[in-house]
Chain A
Amino acid sequence: MTRIVLVPGCWALLPRFASSIDPVADLRAACDKALSWLGEAPEIVADGVGHEVAAALLDARTTSSTEAGRSVLVVANGSACRTEKAPGHLDPRAEGFDQLIGTALRTPDPGALRAVDATLAAELWADTAVLPALADLLDGARTLDVGYDAVPYGVQYWVVRWEAR
């Protein structure tokens, strides 16, 4: 069995950018809960600083699974253009873009994830470069739960767990 978790590449999750009041406490808690279900040394599928986010979250997790099997941690998130205050400012195309990905993650629908428009993703400041790799992992997988699905600072984050044979 393969255990797959998706978390966002949010830099506020990194220890080097820690505040005394955690601005992403709910997100962090959701990440920790999902990561505790993964095995001791998951494979990481990420881009750029996403690797550091994955390593930091794994380092900080409270527990891990001892069951045999493959574990994969994927780092990606939706657009950064959902509100006026969002990093990329409000883009009316962002909500539909994120909904499409959100549905593809929940289903899961690997074909839809492979078909995400990379040009539009770049315009919407989305961190989706690893979605094709995630799609490959999700062939024949089933969604266990969506632990987080929100746009707290104008950026779309998801925390999702899947199980594949």
Chain B
Amino acid sequence: MLRLGRHTFADDQALMMAIVNRTPDSFFDRGATWAEDAAFDRVTQVVEQGAEIVDIGGIKAAPGAEIGVAEEKARVVDFVARVRSAFPELVISVDTWRAEVADAVCVAGADVINDAWGGADPELVDVAAAHDVALICTHTGGVTPRTRPYRIDYADVVQAAIDDTVAYAERALRAGVARESLVIDPAHDFGKNTFHSLELTRRLGEMVATGWPVLVSLSNKDFVGETLDLPVGERLLGTLAATSVCALAGARIYRVHQVVETRQTVDMVWTIAGRRPPARAIRGLQ
């Protein structure tokens, strides 16, 4: 069983986590959901598309203007409360590395803290424990939040990702976060070049074999763009190909921009893997 705050899911279920940016400058949507109403419309849309989780973020991952705690809270806290009240069945995740922001969004109704920066704030685990919410433990190779990778090397990037995320999960466990509420994420492109992200994709099964549920965030990222030499708006097919590989390996949560396309891809692969029946099979069985 996987428990994300108020919500529980069976172990054979693959979940869609739709990205909702309350930012003016994120790489894919470029501020399309910066306005609160636009972000709310995006939530409504992804719920209709069947996403189980929304991941609300107030700060873009790439370097840029410094966003302080007060500004980050202003962007996400009331918005989380609004989404919580409108969609009681929806899992609300918040993408933040700051314990103070995490605490405020949990009070407002968040179910998951998605710490995309791999434990940069040591108190984040205490906040997750205090509110009994889930925590996404990512691997960044120890880089500072909102920095780009530069000549980072690993003896074995997959082993490093496993070691760091499992250690993070165990630290969270010791801090009191529930075992069934911890998820690990190799964090493609974070503290990694394209070769690292490709290797993590190819060997994702090793992360799954740790027994911790694995989240993958592949959507339209640079490793896809660099692999295919395509700009941000043209990376869907590459994203879905990488998604297929991760799905076959058994990744449980998919953090995505395109919910419908990813769901179809994961459902197809999940069924090939024998973890989901076909929707409706009659060919040759009449």
A residues lining the B interface (CB < 8 Å):
10-12, 14, 17-21, 23-24, 80, 86-87, 152-155
Contact = CB atoms under 8 A, between A and B. Distances in A.
A11 to B, nearest CB: 4
B218 to A, nearest CB: 26
B286 A17 contact: no
B116 to A, nearest CB: 33
Contacts of A154: 286
Interface residues of B, number: 10
B65 interface: no
Interface in B257-286: 276-282, 284-286
A153 B282 contact: yes
Given A19-B277, A23-B285, A87-B284, 13 more contacts: A10-B285, A10-B286, A12-B285, A14-B285, A19-B281, A20-B277, A20-B279, A20-B280, A21-B279, A21-B280, A23-B280, A23-B282, A155-B286
11 contacts: A10-B286, A11-B284, A12-B285, A17-B281, A19-B278, A20-B277, A20-B280, A21-B280, A23-B285, A86-B286, A152-B286
Nearest to B276: A20
A155 B286 CA distance: 7
Nearest to B278: A19
Contacts of A24: 282
Contacts of B286: 10-12, 80, 86-87, 152-155
B interface secondary structure, majority: loop
A24 B283 CA distance: 12
A17 B285 contact: yes
A21 B280 CA distance: 5
A155 B282 CA distance: 12
Nearest to A151: B286
B271 to A, nearest CB: 10
Interface of B: 276-282, 284-286
B99 to A, nearest CB: 41
Please indicate which of the listed interface residues B277, B281, B285, B286 has the most CB atoms of chain A within 10 Å of its own CB: B286
Nearest to A23: B282
A10 B283 CA distance: 11
A102 B201 CA distance: 58
A32 to B, nearest CB: 18
A144 to B, nearest CB: 26
A12 B278 contact: no
A17 B282 CA distance: 9
Please indicate which of the listed interface residues B277, B279, B281, B282 has the most CB atoms of chain A within 10 Å of its own CB: B282
Nearest to B281: A19
User: Which 8 pairs across A and B sit closest by C-beta, in order of nearness?
Assistant: A11-B285, A23-B282, A12-B285, A153-B286, A155-B286, A21-B280, A19-B280, A19-B281
A11 B285 CA distance: 5
A86 B283 CA distance: 10
Contacts of B285: 10-12, 14, 17, 23
Contacts of B280: 19-21, 23
A154 B286 CA distance: 8
